[in-house]
Every structure is written in structure tokens, then in C-alpha cells.
Amino acid sequence: PACSIVFEAEPEADGLMQRSPRPVTDSPFAAAPLLQSVLQGLGIAAVLLAGQAWLVGQGWSAEQGRSVVFGTLVVAVMLLILANRDLSRPAWHGVTDRNPWLWRMAAAMGLLLAAVFGLPWLRQIMGLALPGGGLAAGVCMLAACAMWMELVRLVGGNKQRTFTGA
């Protein structure tokens, strides 16, 4: 739902009405765009799984590791939104674009994370624990996720989603 809300609030692209419509034969479920999305998701999953394994290997409890991975996953969803707003440029460029719902969604995610980690009964329901140095570990995992998404964008041809009809 977060992606839908943010993407629906995107301003129209420059020259949108001068473009030809998408050909009827083009599928929104074509292999290339789906492959890019699957690769993004697999990369994030790999980073988070490797991060959890590393944290537990360093002596962290499973609950502490789960907390870092959960927080990182929630913020990674925001990274996915930024990465897929405009495929022609890096994700961090999307932070300054005007979209009334982008910052509202980021604030809502932040408030929910604060509630999950700040309310002991909610933390217990989720099976989480306050991670001591978890912020640094989460930032490292987020950096790895961001680098992976940028690599997928660059290798994928970093084309803007446009339709060039005949």
C-alpha cells in the first residue's frame, strides 16, 4: 500500500501528453520489468538474511538480530519506493522531488517503527528486543541494499518508464 499511495501522488512526467500511448500488445508484466523487481527483492532478502546470520554469529540474540532486520526491512521498503520512482536516475535524487505523500509515508513508517521498538508490549508481541548497537548494523545493511538497487538499475539499462508507440 505504501508504494501505491506514493506512486499515485506522483506528478505527471514532462511531455506526458505528447507521448504515444502504450501499444496494446505491450504487457505491464513483461519479463524485463518483472526481472528487475525480482532482482531488487532477492538482493534485499539476501542482504537481510546475511545480516541476520552475521549478527547471530557475532553473539547477538535472535531477537536482537530480528529487530535489526525488521527495522532495516521497513526502511528498505522506502528505499524501493525511491529507487522505482524514476529509473533514469539514482534513488537519492527522488528525495527532493515534489510528492506530497512521500514524506508523510516516511513519517508514518518512522512513527510505526518508534511504536514497535518503544512500546515493550508491542515489542514482545513481535518477538523483538532492543538491539544495543543495532543502528549501525541496520545502516550498513541499508547501504548494502541501496548499492544493490543501484547496481540493478545500472545493469538493467536505467531507462525511464516511457512508452514509445508507433
Say if 91 falls within a structural domain.
yes
**Residue 17 CB-density burial (10 A; 0-12 exposed, 13-18 middle, 19+ buried):** exposed
Q: Are 153 and 90 in contact (CB under 8 A)?
A: yes
Say if 96 falls within a structural domain.
yes
Mean pLDDT over 110-139 rounds to: 90
Mean pLDDT over 141-162 rounds to: 79
Q: Quick one: pLDDT at residue 83? A: 80
**Residue 69 CB-density burial (10 A; 0-12 exposed, 13-18 middle, 19+ buried):** buried
| pLDDT, tens digit (0-9, with 9 covering 90-100), for 85-104 | 766 666 565 555 677 778 88
Angle at 115 between CA 111 and CA 117, to 5 degrees: 115
> Given a cut of 70, is residue 161 above it in pLDDT?
no
Say if 148 falls within a structural domain.
yes
> Given a cut of 80, is residue 129 above it in pLDDT?
yes
Q: Quick one: pLDDT at residue 57? A: 94
Full residue range of the structural domain in which residue 111 is found: 32-155
Say if 14 falls within a structural domain.
no
Q: How many domains does the chain have?
A: 1
Say if 104 falls within a structural domain.
yes
Whether this model's pTM surpasses 0.75? yes
- Highest-confidence range of 25-29, 76-80, 108-112, by mean pLDDT? 108-112
Say if 88 falls within a structural domain.
yes
Say if 22 falls within a structural domain.
no
Three-state secondary-structure class, residue 1: coil
Say if 160 falls within a structural domain.
no
Q: Quick one: pLDDT at residue 164? A: 38
